[in-house]
């Protein structure tokens, strides 16, 4: 037991001594290394391969960068670089924000512009232009004049039919001689000439009205009859052109006799054909009678064209103005140049409507002319059908059932 204690104390003493005197342990199994020799060999190899010069160049560059950066008074290099990059990032953020604001402002301004442009388009499409209002006024004036012209023509034609048929209130009712006397008196009272005055007839010759009841120009007086006298002269010319004196009507026993039966048929055919011819001219007279007030635009057109200024017009004249002012009126041409597209489209539609109106009037006139031509053909055919000799009365054998 004492022997084991001695061994333990000896071991503890050895350990304490090694620690106290820094005794290096011996490692017999480790290789022997000489650091100085190894460093010398590396330096020799670096010189031979050129690595040393490269390292020296890199070291020189690092020194240049360090000297360019300067001292680290305001912080380390990493700190300064971080602050610089942060500042650049802030600048980029501010630039992007400014660009966003510019883009937003531009989009807002463009949106307002497009909205105003669309509002202007809607206004132009929905707002009627003054030219369109003038065209509408002209259309109303035209239609009103057409209605009034028809009334005038109808009134004249009705009186003419009564005259041609020899009604009791007409001169020819008492005989054709009375009708001729009435026609001569009409001429002397209103249209006598120097020859009539020289013959001692009770009239005062007037060069303005002399023989106007026989002049074709009286019927077409520049599109309208400016006075009531001009209208009457046109009516009288139409009367002289178609039937100066109406024949006496069939009356009394003339209607009941056998010969009167045939005469009635011929007279009715005569009255119908005379009425057709007379009414055709009466329509021309009615179309040129002053029956409607002219609009301001129509009056200005007459002034611009150097024509006589007037406030009343006829249907024919209104149609003429509405057609011609779109060809020769400077005011209308100037307005057309400044019209927006919707107004131009309305004007085109108005002109197409006016063209359709004129075409219809032409068609209606062609129907009337066709009726006159048909009557003329019937007269010619009837004349050609007259037998060359009198034929005996045919014998008709009755048939029994």
- Please spell the DSSP secondary structure of 177-212, one letter per residue: HHHHHHHHHHHHHHH--HHHHHTT-S----TTTTTG
Question: Burial letters for 201-237: b for 16+ Cβ neighbours within 10 Å, e otherwise?
Answer: eebebeeebbbbbbeeebbebebbbeeeebbbbbbbb
- Predicted pLDDT of residue 126: 73
- Predicted pLDDT of residue 337: 86
CA distances from 133 to 128, 149, 263, 295, 356 (A): 7, 24, 59, 11, 19
Residue 312 near residue 290 (C-beta atoms within 8 A): yes
DSSP secondary structure code for residue 128 in this structure:
P
Helix %, strand %, coil % for the chain, to 5? 75, 0, 25
State the Cα–Cα distance between residues 118 and 112, nearest whole angstrom. Answer: 10
State the Cα–Cα distance between residues 67 and 200, nearest whole angstrom. Answer: 142
Phi then psi dihedrals of residue 83, to 5 deg: -65, -35
Residue 209 near residue 190 (C-beta atoms within 8 A): yes
> pLDDT 10s per residue in the chain (401 long)?
444 455 555 554 554 554 544 555 555 454 556 666 766 766 676 565 666 676 677 677 766 666 665 556 666 777 878 888 888 888 898 999 999 999 999 999 999 999 998 888 787 777 777 787 888 888 888 888 889 999 999 999 999 999 999 999 899 999 999 999 999 999 999 999 989 888 888 887 788 889 999 999 999 877 889 889 999 999 999 999 999 999 999 988 888 888 888 899 999 999 999 999 999 999 999 999 998 899 988 998 888 888 888 889 999 999 989 888 888 888 888 888 888 888 888 889 988 999 999 999 999 999 999 999 999 999 888 888 877 777 777 777 766 55
List, as one string, the DSSP characters of 282-321. Answer: HHHHHHTB--EEPPHHHHHHHHHTTPPP-SEE-HHHHHHH
State the Cα–Cα distance between residues 180 and 385, nearest whole angstrom. Answer: 33
């Amino acid at each position: 037991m004492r022997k084991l204690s001695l061994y333990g104390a000896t071991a503890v003493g050895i350990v304490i001594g090694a620690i106290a005197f820094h005794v290096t342990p011996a490692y017999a199994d480790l290789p022997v290394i000489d650091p100085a020799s190894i460093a010398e060999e590396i330096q020799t190899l670096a010189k031979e391969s050129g690595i040393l010069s490269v390292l020296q160049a890199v070291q020189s560059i690092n020194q240049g960068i360090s000297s360019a950066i300067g001292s680290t008074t305001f912080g380390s290099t990493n700190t300064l670089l971080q602050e610089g990059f942060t500042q650049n990032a802030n600048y980029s953020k501010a630039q992007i924000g400014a660009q966003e604001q510019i883009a937003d402002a531009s989009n807002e301004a463009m949106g307002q512009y497009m909205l105003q442009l669309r509002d202007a388009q809607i206004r132009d499409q929905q707002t009627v232009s003054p030219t369109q209002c003038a065209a509408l006024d002209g259309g109303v004036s035209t239609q009103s004049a057409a209605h009034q012209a028809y009334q005038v023509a109808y009134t004249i034609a009705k009186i003419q039919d009564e005259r041609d048929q020899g009604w009791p209130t007409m001169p020819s009712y008492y005989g054709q001689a009375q009708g001729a006397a009435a026609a001569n008196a009409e001429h002397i009272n209103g249209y006598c000439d120097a020859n009539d005055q020289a013959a001692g007839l009770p009239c005062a010759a007037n060069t303005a009205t002399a023989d106007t009841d026989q002049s074709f120009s009286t019927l077409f007086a520049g599109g309208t009859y400016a006075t009531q006298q001009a209208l009457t002269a046109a009516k009288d010319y139409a009367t002289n052109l178609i039937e100066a004196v109406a024949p006496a009507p069939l009356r009394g026993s003339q209607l009941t006799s056998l010969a009167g039966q045939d005469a009635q048929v011929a007279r009715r055919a005569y009255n119908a054909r005379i009425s057709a011819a007379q009414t055709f001219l009466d329509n021309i007279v009615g179309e040129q009678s002053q029956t409607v007030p002219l609009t301001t635009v129509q009056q200005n057109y007459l002034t611009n064209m150097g024509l006589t200024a007037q406030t009343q017009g006829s249907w024919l004249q209104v149609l003429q103005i509405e057609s011609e002012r779109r060809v020769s009126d400077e005011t209308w041409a100037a307005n057309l140049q400044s019209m927006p597209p919707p107004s131009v489209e309305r004007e085109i539609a108005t002109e197409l409507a006016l063209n359709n109106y004129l075409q219809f009037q032409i068609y209606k006139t062609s129907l009337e002319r066709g009726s006159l031509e048909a009557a003329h053909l019937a007269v010619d055919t009837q004349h050609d059908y007259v037998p060359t000799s009198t034929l005996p009365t045919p014998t008709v054998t009755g048939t029994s059932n």
